[in-house]
């Protein structure tokens, strides 16, 4: 890559200059000054971009020349090959940007599948939001609120994934079944569940911060104008180079942004009273950091199970030091595959929890009316 070549040339210049000097302090200072002068005349940002293609990418999957085949695998429409990350060798920043652009398209493809294949509807939150208030959205089945028997709520993990996804990497490199929540949704609906698919990573909107103008330092009457001007120029150049290195180190951060939160509500009591069981898949939660009280820990021990990445066979108990909930093996050591690998075990776990609840309910005399069912739906 070009930058490597330039670094080599600069190193050679430095060595050659050092070898040609007698070695006295004055001569070393001159050498250092000459090197700094050479470096100052190199526009690093332009240098790094010289061989880098444009960061403008296709806006649709068809324009990317990819599509999902009958097995739900992403393949190039002409070659039939899987997605290639290193499209341009030695241009990691550009390849990463291309991957992110494709990932955004994949996100919207999954939204379409949730509506067309799973027949879910998009619901915007908060439901009472004003016109100019930040909003998010979830997907629900038609009977999500009215189903009198059972409701399944699907929550993805942290990161760039959005509603309906488990792992973007799996969607792009493996298939839709392992990378999305669609198999869970379809089976849940087949088994009579109402379904709500949450979008917990989209709980704020991101807007660009206004650019800050560099403030000139306070006037110092003792400092010559020429010296102050040089100092200002030096500060601007230093900031430019620092910003460039930060941008290259973190190519995802192209501009300064701020987050405006979307209204959220915490309902511990309602959750504990209405949720029968919770299946976690290699969850990264930490009850110590989140300051969970004893009542929450006791509830998790009884109602939760975590399928964790492990080399042990599926459903093998796994020891762990945190006192939150039982852990069992997901049958894979790959974090992103834990949801898909534990698919059948999770539904079996839910079925057992429902049967246990129904058995307990039958042992207690109850009177069910139409109004009480309506109230239950409204509470959900």
Which of the pair, 328 or 296, is modelled with greater confidence?
328
> Looking at the domain assignment, is residue 79 inside a domain?
no
Per-residue pLDDT at 149: 92
Q: Please tell me the distance from the alpha carbon of residue 228 to that of residue 215, in angstroms, as a whole number.
A: 13
For CA atoms 314, 317, 321, 324, the dihedral sign is: positive
Write the secondary structure of 109-174 as one string of H (helix), E (strand) and C (coil). HHHHHHHHCCCCEEEEECCCCCCCCCCEEEEECCCCCCCCCCEEEECCCCCCCCCCECCHHHHHHC
Bridge-based pairing state of the strands 304-308 and 327-329 = parallel
> Looking at the domain assignment, is residue 20 inside a domain?
no
> Looking at the domain assignment, is residue 125 inside a domain?
no
Question: Looking at the structure, do residues 239 and 353 belong to the same domain, yes or no?
Answer: no
Question: Looking at the structure, do residues 279 and 358 belong to the same domain, yes or no?
Answer: yes
> Looking at the domain assignment, is residue 344 inside a domain?
yes
Question: Looking at the structure, do residues 155 and 278 belong to the same domain, yes or no?
Answer: yes
CA torsion 246→251→254→260, rounded to 10°?
A: -100
Question: Residue with structure tokens 């979008």?
Answer: 199
Question: Looking at the structure, do residues 336 and 300 belong to the same domain, yes or no?
Answer: yes
Question: Looking at the structure, do residues 316 and 274 belong to the same domain, yes or no?
Answer: yes
> Looking at the domain assignment, is residue 59 inside a domain?
no
Q: What is the mean pLDDT of residues 92-114?
A: 95
Question: Looking at the structure, do residues 310 and 282 belong to the same domain, yes or no?
Answer: yes
pTM for this prediction: 0.70
Question: Looking at the structure, do residues 255 and 290 belong to the same domain, yes or no?
Answer: no
Rg of the chain's alpha carbons, rounded to an integer? Answer: 29
Q: What is the mean pLDDT of residues 85-106?
A: 92
Q: Please tell me the distance from the alpha carbon of residue 380 to that of residue 375, in angstroms, as a whole number.
A: 9
Range of the domain at 256: 204-209+233-261
Question: Looking at the structure, do residues 152 and 239 belong to the same domain, yes or no?
Answer: no
Question: Looking at the structure, do residues 144 and 247 belong to the same domain, yes or no?
Answer: no
Q: Please tell me the distance from the alpha carbon of residue 199 to that of residue 162, in angstroms, as a whole number.
A: 6
C-alpha closest to that of 34 among 13, 54, 55 = 13
The pLDDT of residue 369 is above 70:
no
Q: Please tell me the distance from the alpha carbon of residue 87 to that of residue 75, in angstroms, as a whole number.
A: 15
Per-residue pLDDT at 237: 72
Q: What is the mean pLDDT of residues 163-169?
A: 96
Tokens representing 152?
């399944």
> Looking at the domain assignment, is residue 129 inside a domain?
no
Q: What is the mean pLDDT of residues 80-88?
A: 93
> Looking at the domain assignment, is residue 157 inside a domain?
yes
Per-residue pLDDT at 214: 47
Per-residue pLDDT at 9: 31
> Looking at the domain assignment, is residue 353 inside a domain?
yes
- Whether the link from the prior residue into 148 is cis, omega within 30° of 0, is no
> Residues 17-62: pLDDT tens digits?
344 444 555 665 666 676 666 666 555 555 555 567 788 899 999 9
Number of domains forming the structure of the chain: 2
Which of the pair, 207 or 161, is modelled with greater confidence?
161
The pLDDT of residue 206 is above 90:
no
**Burial zone of 219 (CB within 10 Å; 0-12 exposed, 13-18 middle, 19+ buried):** exposed
The pLDDT of residue 67 is above 80:
yes
């Amino acid at each position: 890559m070009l930058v490597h070549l330039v670094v080599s040339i600069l190193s050679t210049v430095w060595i050659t200059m050092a070898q040609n000097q007698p070695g006295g302090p004055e001569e070393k200072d001159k050498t250092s000054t000459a090197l700094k002068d050479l470096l100052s005349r190199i526009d690093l940002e332009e240098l790094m971009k010289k061989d880098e293609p444009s960061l403008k990418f296709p806006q649709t999957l068809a324009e990317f020349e990819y599509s999902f085949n009958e097995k739900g695998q992403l393949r190039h429409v002409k070659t039939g090959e899987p997605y290639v990350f290193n499209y341009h060798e030695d241009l990691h920043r550009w390849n990463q940007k291309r991957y992110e652009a494709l990932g955004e398209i994949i996100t919207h493809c999954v939204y379409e599948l949730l509506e067309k294949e799973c027949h879910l509807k998009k619901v915007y939150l908060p439901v009472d939001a004003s016109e100019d208030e930040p909003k998010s959205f979830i997907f629900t089945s038609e009977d999500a609120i009215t189903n009198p028997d059972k409701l399944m709520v699907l929550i993805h993990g942290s990161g760039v994934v959005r509603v309906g996804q488990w792992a973007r990497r799996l969607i792009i490199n493996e298939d839709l079944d392992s990378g999305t929540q669609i198999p869970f949704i379809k089976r849940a609906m087949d088994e009579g569940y109402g379904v709500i698919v949450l979008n917990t990573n989209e709980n704020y909107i991101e807007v660009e911060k206004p650019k800050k103008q560099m403030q000139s330092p306070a006037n110092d009457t003792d400092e010559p104008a020429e010296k102050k001007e040089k100092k200002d120029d030096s500060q601007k150049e230093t900031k430019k180079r620092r910003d460039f290195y930060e941008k290259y180190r973190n190519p995802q951060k192209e501009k300064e942004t701020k987050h405006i939160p979307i209204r959220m509500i915490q309902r511990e009591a309602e959750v504990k009273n209405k949720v029968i069981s919770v299946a976690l898949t290699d969850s990264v939660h930490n009850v110590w950091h989140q300051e969970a009280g004893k009542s929450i820990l006791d509830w998790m021990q009884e109602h939760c199970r975590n399928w964790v990445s492990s080399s042990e066979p599926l459903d093998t108990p796994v020891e762990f030091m945190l006192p939150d909930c039982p852990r069992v093996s997901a049958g894979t050591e790959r974090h992103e595959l834990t949801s898909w690998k534990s698919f059948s075990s999770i539904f079996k776990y839910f079925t057992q929890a429902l049967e246990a609840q129904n058995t307990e309910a039958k042992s207690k005399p109850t009177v069910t009316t139409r109004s009480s069912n309506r109230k239950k739906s409204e509470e959900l």
